[in-house]
Chains A and B, each alone.
Chain A
Amino acid sequence: MAAIIDRTLTSIDTENSDPIDLAYFCKLLFICGVTKIEAPPQVFSKMKDLLLTDPISWDQSKTYFLKVVNGIFEFEPNELIEKNLDFSKIQVLRLKKIRLIGLEDLLIQDYETIFHDLLNSGAHYLDLCPGNHKHCASAIALEWLLMGGQSISCSFGSCNNDANLEEILMALKINGKSNLVGDLSVLREIKDVYERMTGKTIPEKKAVIGEGIFKVESGIHVDGILKNPLIYEPFSPESVGNIREIVLGKHSGQRSVIYKLRELSLSESCINEILFKLKEHCSKAGKSFSDLDLLTLVSEVHNDY
């Protein structure tokens, strides 16, 4: 069973974070499939009373891993040696516990051969922690796990310039590795706690966890989704704790308008005229059409008759 290490808490400022939020964040990470959570002692010590009964003496020079063993929380010191990958010295990794960092350019090299060599390097423990300067870190981490890699390190929601936890988990699920993935419907709750702790907002279109990724406007897409959501959604909104929203705009078609009229319990008469005026307005104004805009337009159109 591969290890998925989340290192979000190594990079965010938790000085003013509520220990209950911190502990809840950790519990949710375990639910979605994380196997170890990495953080410095000062972060874990803030919430240890919520997780442990026994006292622990921390080595302040190290980070620690929190894991769950037989339903009990346990800490272990992080003893991984961080190294940049040196292709000429793969054999040197033998018998060591290594975390490979960097790896930004790996996808433009023969990464399958490199992964094969790494898997046969004889390293005692090999964790991959790709950097994201070239925007390919999640893909590199995914391919490592799909090829049989033992461990990856990542962070939630693009923080820390790491591979993205939520992207890797969903990609594993879609690639038939559900045994490595927990319940992803908690991703929404993780996002809420993360935003509360950091004061940062996850971008609306962020893959997997963005608030707006299930908003749909285009007539072609709305038509498909109303027939079968799988046609234009790779995973359901519910599977990541989100909801779908149909938005009206210049790309809307008749089915979208009918859907919205029914949602707002409005008459469906004069549908063609409503659609025409709506699209004309959105094209000229360069913006979407709100429910209030639709209510106003419907009453205008109906009053003309």
Chain B
Amino acid sequence: MTIEKKYIVDTTLRDGEQSPGIAFTLKEKVSIAKALDIMGVSRIEAGVPAMGKEECQAFEKIKLTCKKADVVAWNRMNLNDIQASIDCGADIIHVCVPASSLLIEEKLHMSNDAVLEMIESCAERIHRYNKEFSIGLEDASRADWTFVEEIIKKASTLNATTIRFADTVGILSPRTCSHYINQINTEMDLEIHMHNDLGMAVANSVQGTISGAKYIDCTLFGIGERAGNCNLEHFLEALEGQYDFGVSLEDLRKHQSKLEHIIFKNKMCS
């Protein structure tokens, strides 16, 4: 019997590193990326090139090091940020699009129309350089669904290849997660990004996977903002034998234990 393939997007080097107290040097980032590539992770979200020279250098080295995995650069909806990602050689340019009115109105002081216009500008820049274009729906779990559908439609028109559904503040339950994922009707690949604020990132990722997501965002040891992201090891344990993720639990545990002293070095020092 053929087992269905699904793919891991590891964001240890981006969302994971945003966890206070965790910071990687260039060399450490490259070591982690190399291990992720060897163990079979499909995409490595390696950071935010807009952060500066050091981050861009890390990207260039990671790109040279990774033999199989695609390297993803995370971006705000900002052309300068996107240009930095293009310049450092990322394979996939991911643009994080605010989906909820909390983000659009209270944080960015924008209108929905301005968000849609900005997506067009970002897409134009990314396609000009023949890069793969991926869109993230930030805070989609608290967004007005009509606007979520507008963004998805726009992304599709602009030839985005992947749409990422983000439960940015980790409020979903498995049933609501499944409900949202089932509502997304698109030919683009679907990616899910779950946070662990209620301790349900693994359960929600399991339901999102069963409901049709092709790409699942995880981090090593589940590190990330607040209570963290979906823990890769726990996720693979939860769905062991159900799908082919291209990553074996045995390999993951072996590599992860070798990386523990890098990831938690500041805690170990203290």
Contacts and interface: CB of A to CB of B under 8 A. Distances in A.
Task: Place the interface of chain B in its size category.
Answer: 35 or more
Contacts of B200: 136, 138-139, 142, 167, 171
Contacts of B66: none
Sort A-B residue pairs by CB-CB distance and give the 7 closest, nearest first.
A139-B203, A167-B199, A207-B199, A207-B227, A247-B20, A234-B169, A217-B20
A167 B210 contact: no
Contacts of B21: 212, 215, 247, 249, 287-288
Given A134-B237, A135-B202, A213-B226, A283 B25 contact: yes
B23 A230 contact: no
> Which of B106, B107, B199, B235 is the most central at the interface, judged by chain A CB atoms within 10 Å of its CB?
B199
> Which of A134, A221, A227, A284 is the most central at the interface, judged by chain B CB atoms within 10 Å of its CB?
A134
B225 A283 contact: no
A67 interface: no
B173 interface: yes
B104 to A, nearest CB: 10
Contacts of B196: 207
Contact of B23 (A212, A220, A283): A283
Contacts of A247: 20-21
A129 B149 CA distance: 38
B186 interface: no
Contacts of B51: 250-251, 279
Interface string A77-114: 00000000000000000000000000000011000100
A146 B237 contact: no
Contacts of A112: 175
Contact of A228 (B107, B227, B238, B265): B107
B266 interface: yes
A282 interface: yes
Interface string B144-178: 00000000000000000000000011110111000
Given A134-B238, A221-B18, A284-B25, A107 B198 contact: no
B173 A146 contact: yes
A232 interface: yes
A205 B197 contact: no
A74 to B, nearest CB: 31
8 contacts: A135-B231, A136-B174, A212-B20, A216-B225, A230-B102, A279-B51, A284-B25, A286-B24
B103 interface: yes
Contacts of B184: none
A205 B173 contact: no
A6 B38 CA distance: 43
B234 A138 contact: no
A249 to B, nearest CB: 6
A57 interface: no
B140 to A, nearest CB: 14
A143 B175 contact: yes
A227 B265 contact: no
Interface string A48-85: 00000000000000000000000000000000000000
A139 B174 contact: yes
B143 to A, nearest CB: 13
A166 B238 CA distance: 21
Contacts of B76: 220
A134 B235 CA distance: 8
Interface of A: 107-108, 112, 133-136, 138-140, 142-143, 146, 164, 167, 170-171, 174-175, 204-208, 210, 212-218, 220-221, 223-224, 227-228, 230-235, 247, 249-251, 279-280, 282-288
B227 A208 contact: yes
A224 B20 contact: no
Given A232-B225, A249-B21, A280-B54, 10 more contacts: A107-B203, A204-B267, A205-B227, A208-B197, A208-B227, A218-B18, A227-B107, A247-B21, A249-B20, A250-B51
A183 B79 CA distance: 46
Contacts of A205: 19, 222-223, 226-228
A230 B52 CA distance: 29
Contact of B206 (A107, A204, A231): A107
Interface in B117-161: none
Contacts of B225: 216, 218, 221, 232
Given A135-B237, A224-B103, A249-B23, A174 B198 contact: yes
Nearest to B267: A204
Given A232-B168, A286-B24, A135 B52 contact: no
A139 B107 contact: no
> Which of A136, A140, A208 is the most central at the interface, judged by chain B CB atoms within 10 Å of its CB?
A136
Contacts of A220: 76
B28 interface: yes
Contacts of A215: 20-21
A250 B171 contact: no
